[in-house]
A and B are shown apart, each in its own frame.
Chain A
Amino acid sequence: MQRRAVRVWYWVHKWSSLVCTLFMLMLCVTGLPLIFGEEIYHLSGAEPPVAAPAPGARPADLDGLIARALDRYPGDVPLFLGWDPDHPVVYVNTGARPDTPPAAMHSVLFHQYSGEIIEAPPFNEGVMYTLYLIHTEMFAGLPGKLFLGAMGFLLALAILSGVVLYAPFMRKLGFGTVRRDRSRRLKWLDLHNLLGIVTATWVGVVALTGVLNTLERPLYENWQAGQLARMTAAWQGQPPPNRLASLETAVRAARAAVPDMHPSFVSYPGTGYSGFHHYGVFMQGDSELSKRTYQPVLVDATTSAFTATAEWPAFMQALYLSQPLHFGDYGGLPLKIIWAALTIVTIIVLASGLYLWLGRRRRSVEALLVEIESGGLVDAETAAGAA
């Protein structure tokens, strides 16, 4: 590789890494416990015992559950209702306004069959939720999300430039070379290269799927302005409904429209998920993949009559199908442990990169380029002196 090319890629690697490293360290540290969120929730005893439904029992009426959730939080409006995928539990989220952000929502859990209220710690309180907020938006809402998305993009650039620089550095070295007896810098340079190249693909996938996740809100807005607007063109310009029709009937209509799927959650009008006039009943299938994404069914919120359903456009499918590749929650506990180990290796790559940069701040760029091109075999300072 030409010296000029190495210089350009070195510049890209240095700046893309430097700008994002501290944020990436934060994401790794907060992401580690989030990998095991389910297990931590389970072990902490926060998970209430849920009795199995009595034989022949029928699910409780959804409108009744909504009414009791609103009794508990007077003045609230209902926002979402959803079914726990693993337990016979229905949750109802309410808030002061239809566009209440998750952090300010109230949540009531019900037994899906008996309809009894299940007392459980709110989903949006506690250490894990705080970690989640830091990890996803640093308490800064959508701007925070988009900022972290930009940082993730820089990380992808840092990986790409790192892989490019790996070639000149390794020209005379075998794979896996770690020279621990020369100098501390050389040892960490070798480790940075080794750990970096081995984890490059995984970190790249997690970074880019993370970037996609930060775009969830804009993607939903795009969907509502496109496919949803076309399906609900007849309601365009109408004032929001002031009285809502039965949700139970609406969910039945959705089930009848898509009989091979089951509802996962329902959004109320105005929540940003289904426009201003419709319930959005989000259906899921049973296969490993269709459990990860949804098919929205729109039901008129003033009549509970089926309006339309359509498969999501590719960008919405991509958003949801890519999520497991970010969370690592699709292969049992062993995969989570692998996810955690790879996160720790990533922390070492980030920290060693920072260490290498701090240790060479006052050296010339030429000296660093010689170091890269010679695989660290030529002492950088000597070369700089000679040049």
Chain B
Amino acid sequence: MSNVPPDLQYTKTHEWVRTLPDGTVEIGITDHAQHALGDLVFVEVPEAGRTVALGEPCAVVESVKAASDVYSPVAGEITLGNPLLAGEPEAVNNDPYGKGWLMRLRPTKGAASADLMPADKYLILLQTEGG
């Protein structure tokens, strides 16, 4: 069974969102997503300063098998891409909610965000997807 921390919010495309004390958000992919992708061998994160729209592909995670886009669940400006992942893409597999975060961004004020789910709703989604 996938690990779904209760304190995060989730998208139906298997990203997670953590609100940080300074009002920025940290974004990654869920345990379910990393498991489905398999061993990650390359991660491309966005550069700081880039503005991303809601639902825009803004990072790429590549396993041995395939490349997958990661969609921004929030519109805003990237403040940091995780620098660790250039040399250690497997951190996304090993610690998807910790060391394996992908990016941080400052949400655009008043902009729409994706339909974010609390953990219990995300768990139900995983069950209906057979995950």
Do A and B form a real pair?
A: no
Q: What residues of chain A have their CB less than 8 Å away from a CB belonging to chain B? A: none
> What is the interface of chain B, defined by CB distance below 8 A to chain A?
none
